[in-house]
Structure 1
Amino acid sequence: MTKKYLSITLLVFSFFLSSCGSGDNEGTLSGSINIDGSSTVFPITEAVAEEFRSEAPNVRVTVGVSGTGGGFQKFLRGETAINDASREIKPTEIETAKQNGIEYIRLSVAYDGLAVVVNPQNDWVDNFTVEELQTIWEPSAQGNITRWNQIRSEWPDEEIHLYGPGVASGTYDYFTEAIVGESGSSRGDFTASEDDNVLVQGVSSDQFALGFFGLAYFEENQEQLKLVGVKDGEGEPVKPSTETVANGTYTPLSRPLFIYVSKQAAQRPEVQNFIEFYLDTAPKLAKSVGYVAMPDSAYNAQKEKFQAFISDSTAVQ
């Protein structure tokens, strides 16, 4: 009898250990994670979310696209756990966070380049200088710079039709800061959309179009678009690619991509698991969706930063 009960006890204990060792991701982890923000960061975050759903099927992960600015509005009202961002948080947004008692951490997840594109039937443009792009996009260009031959005299006497991300987009903020010299400052007479697919459609169907958006969207639609190089200073024109973004030769239109995680959300096990999973899988998934992975040391640094954040009572920015 003693041996029988001992065997039963050992069997139950073994099952208990097996259950504990299976990990949260095999069924015990549950909850929901609401994410919104940048259309540029969306592809990598959605790819991570898809992988995570397989690992933690009881966690509901939703990824929306409101642009970086629109996403921050929701994030700073406490409506989302994570905000995808293709730029750093602005001073006005930092102030809103303080007023609303929102603590957060910024984590870098990949690098991206902005693609300057024209229609494939455009046979006159191979590259722009930064100065030419500024001439086209600066606020004073509205109503004044309207035709291709105003940029270079040998280009056709045809209207330029401009396409770009909406003003709530981090891509718009980054482009205007890098090209015009002031974030959010540009002419207003262009076709704007927070949905990069709308921009792809516009440029691909208009011979006289010129647009910009994240490199990943060009790579997804490269058969419909023509990528042009950018010349910064005295150097040769450079086109964005995994190599030129990673080595810093594509300037000034390469940048880091971020996720912002709220302190309150980061206390939840499902969010902690998701962020750890994100930083573990980002190197592989970044490449698969057209972005440039950071060095392993950089991802390790982000993991350490996040661990310090969730264990410390003071937010780390």
Structure 2
Amino acid sequence: MNTVDTHMTQPTAASASQRGFWTRIVLVTLACAVAYATPGLLPNLFYVHIANLTLVSGIFALSLWIIYCVGQLSLGHAAFAGLGAYASALLSLRLGVPPFVSLLIAGIGTATVAALLGAVILRLRGVYFVLVTFLFGQMFTLMVLNWQSLTNGANGLISIPPITILGLSFGPRPVFFYFAFVVFLLVLLFTWALSRSTFGRAFDSIEQNIDLAESCGIDTSKYQIIAFTIGSGIAGVGGAMIAHYIRYISPDTFTFHNSVAYITMLVVGGRSLFWGAVVGAAFLTPLPEFLRDFAGLQHIIYGAIMILVLRLLPGGLISLPATLRRIGGGK
């Protein structure tokens, strides 16, 4: 009887795995088809611009989610994005490095800085870690303001070249959309794979109970440094993308308020699953632009919407289907 059950279970598990694989392939293909048509379906370039910013915000939110997975929350995330932006822009402007290459170098460089910093500050926990990341963000702002010979200070860097690959310029908004979508999709798939890997399981254990994880033999410091390095490196790539898209950056481009915005995306979307970060970015990035007609009330309406979401959906927007099912079941 047990032998028969074993033979029946193995094909069932294999079939379920195969169905899951093909489901993911279909979803990715569908997403690519929708993305291909999106720039042509939007009414004007302004909406394409909003779509571009939403994709990059999704990259930032996903990168912060990776850090959150080990129970840490960074208030200096925008500083790492700015570090990548300035590194890539300066490599292209001063040394003539092709923008796509400088973007990759910026991501690696930002990850390296994060690894060195993380080796020191990740011994801290809770509010102390948050405070140190906040101070790092302030130090970055002061550095780019005062190192005028390199960063041009408050005036920022202008005429940053657009990303070009094999002679194709991704400077125009509709064309940049495709580049941003590909990078976003790669980051999304990487985050999904990471969450299902051995690293992801270790991250989850640390986030749930770091003391218990340590007692089980998990090297929590190592995994926290890995998560901090990966998340910050991805943020550096996102920052470099902004630099080559907007083609102008200044100390005001990456501030403490940006870090808070990324955290808000995570909270409003839902922190429990990685795609909550995507939902939060897709909801909050366009919202201020669509509230521009309400002059004087824009920030009040924006704040009221966020309070309403958090009050009714403590688990974030991704908990909406479960909440509706619960309400329907209660009736």
Q: Is the structural similarity TM-score above 0.5?
A: no
Structure 1 length normalisation: TM-score?
A: 0.23
Which structure has the larger Rg over C-alpha atoms?
1
Considering Cα pairs closer than 8 Å and 6+ residues apart, tell me whether 1 or 2 has the greater RCO: 2
Structure 2 length normalisation: TM-score?
A: 0.23
Q: Which has the higher helix share?
A: 2
Q: Which has the higher strand share?
A: 1
